[in-house]
Amino acid sequence: MKFESLLAYTVSRLFSLYKNKSGYIIKQLLAQLVGYDTVWNIENSDHSKNGGLGGNDMHLYGTQSINELGHLTIGGVDTVELGKQYGTPLFVYDLALFRERARGFVDTFKKEGVKAQVAYASKAFSSVAIYQAAAQEGLSVDVVSGGELYTALKAGFPSAKIHFHGNNKSIEEIEQAFDSKIGCIVIDNFYEIELLKEISAKRKQKMDVLFRVTPGVEAHTHDFITTGQADSKFGFDLSNGQADEAFRLLFEDEYLQLKGMHCHIGSQIFETEAFSLAAKKVVDKMAEWQQSTGFKATVLNLGGGFGIRYTAEDTPLAPAVYVDDMIKAVKKEAEQFGIELPEVWIEPGRSLVGDAGTTLYTVGSSKVVPDVRNYIAIDGGMSDNIRPALYEAKYEGALANKMNAPLEETYTVAGKLCESGDKIIEDLQLPKAEVGDLLATFCTGAYGYSMASNYNRIARPAVVFVEDGKHQLVVKRETLEDLVKLDLPLTLGEG
């Protein structure tokens, strides 16, 4: 192991053991010295599983650690105490890890000297508090609905740093965007072009716009989260003339100020080639339009999709690796065609909040199917984490109150919803589970709460942020009264 890797490993282990603000600062300084990719890769290697801390040899994330009671702690806070105070199910976000991930992207662009915007893709998790944390880290945000836009504005997020996406924006949402004077609208289809032309002309109000293209790049990921190929509900195809027609309609419009193009090839991607190829195709098209019309694109938005580690099967790359390869591809094409390097935007979502989130559940009933499997049931399920049922997503977990106990049983963790497919984790090795134990499911920070539902009239969980030994409730738990507050009594048939 070369010196800088050994140094990175040593400080990373110290940070994992002590989990305090000093350790966090040391790790940030180290990242500046040897690179975020070195620190990231050491932390995500088998050497960083913190196996020496307990019998589970469990991969821990961010500020997670195990205290003298054998309890899982996050941000220096005992999760058992969090469960007692706030109840379960409970989403717990490691705010220090969110900040670290954000800085990994932002600082890499600064290091490369490339003008950029890192926009938090807030569909991963939207709340007033997370928008405020994003603002603290100097991020922009992208929103995909009037609800997300409203929440960001309620958080006091700077409207000029908000980008509005979506393939079917309503007139009301577009008016809301204009009223709020947001930074940019990302156009998705021809209907939206005409709608925006009409609204902007009527209001005599200018708006910066990008338009989304599908570059025909197939990312190696789940079909439901692949978006960059030709057969997609999103964007204008680069290969069949749609993108050229969209450009023609927007070029030199009086009120719609075309700045460039956007693409997004998918999610949970673990290699850089697809991003580089997408960048090449889009920059080539920008150069073509500049040569034919003189239009100079000033923004290239390459979207998000950067993968994270859910299980040992996943091999994520450091933010610096993704960004470096993107920049190389953009610079190479820009130099080849003699065009000015555009400002590069990216939209990480999952990679900012995914492994920063942990869900706590209370174990209830159990069932043994002889020679088949052992079930334990929790007090949540697909109502707070639909991804296993929707995408066959895999997770890791542990008994947060028994982190040092030996692994004795293999369980399938079942939710409490009235669906046979409501299973959060299959074949999970745990200590012997008992009623009242606290189960922690890791890496639930993205598309957990944001995709939560009231199916079976189950109330959505609370959300807590932790940092530096402190904890704060940032989203209240729904109550039974919340579940009926929009209902109205029947009046038909009263005679």
Cβ atoms within 10 Å, residue 367: 11
Query: Is 198 marked as a binding-site residue?
Result: no
pLDDT tens track for 354-372? 999 999 999 999 999 999 9
Asked if the domains at 58-87+356-481 and 96-353 fall in one CATH topology, the answer is no
**pLDDT-derived band at 222, boundaries 50, 70, 90:** very low
Q: What are the sequence ranges of the domains in the chain? A: 1-48, 58-87+356-481, 96-353
Weakest-pLDDT range from 43-52, 164-173, 474-483: 43-52
Q: Which among 19-23, 183-187, 324-328, 490-494 has the top mean pLDDT?
A: 183-187
**Is 419 marked as a binding-site residue?**
yes
Long-range CB pairs of 95-99, under 8 A, 24+ apart, other chains included: 95/133, 95/356, 95/465, 95/466, 95/467, 96/24, 96/62, 96/63, 96/467, 96/468, 97/61, 97/62, 97/63, 97/355, 97/356, 98/130, 98/133, 98/137, 98/352, 98/353, 98/356, 99/133, 99/136, 99/137
- DSSP 8-state class, residue 451: G
Residue 389 structure tokens: 């049922």
Q: Show the beta-strand stretches assigned E in 184-252.
A: 184-187, 207-214, 236-237
User: Exactly one of 184, 263, 418, 443 is catalytic; which is it?
Assistant: 418
| Token pair 């704060």 in the structure block, residue | 472
Bridge partners of 109? none
Does the pLDDT at position 242 exceed 90? yes
The string of pLDDT tens digits covering residues 377-400 is 999 999 999 999 999 999 999 999
Residue 10 has what pLDDT? 52
User: What residues contact residue 459 under an 8 Å CB cut-off, 6+ apart?
Assistant: 477, 478, 479, 480, 482, 483
Q: Is the pLDDT of residue 249 over 80?
A: yes
Q: Is 52 annotated as a binding residue?
A: no
Confidence of residue 51 (pLDDT cuts 50, 70, 90): very low
8 pLDDT more than 90: no
Does the active-site annotation cover 443? no
Q: Is 348 annotated as a binding residue?
A: yes
Q: Which residues contact 34 (CB under 8 A, 6 or more apart)?
A: 4, 5, 7, 8
- Confidence label for 31 from pLDDT (cuts 50, 70 and 90): low
Q: What is the mean pLDDT of residues 436-464?
A: 98
| pTM for this entry | 0.88
pLDDT band per the 50, 70, 90 thresholds, residue 5: very low
Confidence of residue 237 (pLDDT cuts 50, 70, 90): very high
Bridge partner list, 466: 94, 471
Weakest mean pLDDT among 200-214, 319-333, 355-369, 379-393: 319-333
Residue 76 counted as an annotated binding residue: no
For range 99-117, the mean pLDDT: 95
Number of helices followed by number of strands (H, E) in the chain: 15, 21
Domain 96-353 sits in CATH at 3.20.20.10
**Separation CA 469–CA 77 (nearest Å):** 5
The predicted-structure confidence for 399-411, as pLDDT tens digits, reads as follows 999 999 999 999 9
Residue 218 — very low, low, confident or very high, per pLDDT cuts 50/70/90? confident
What CATH number does the domain located at 58-87+356-481 have?
Answer: 2.40.37.10
Euclidean distance between CA atoms 484 and 495, whole angstroms: 25
> What is the arithmetic mean of pLDDT over 61-90?
98
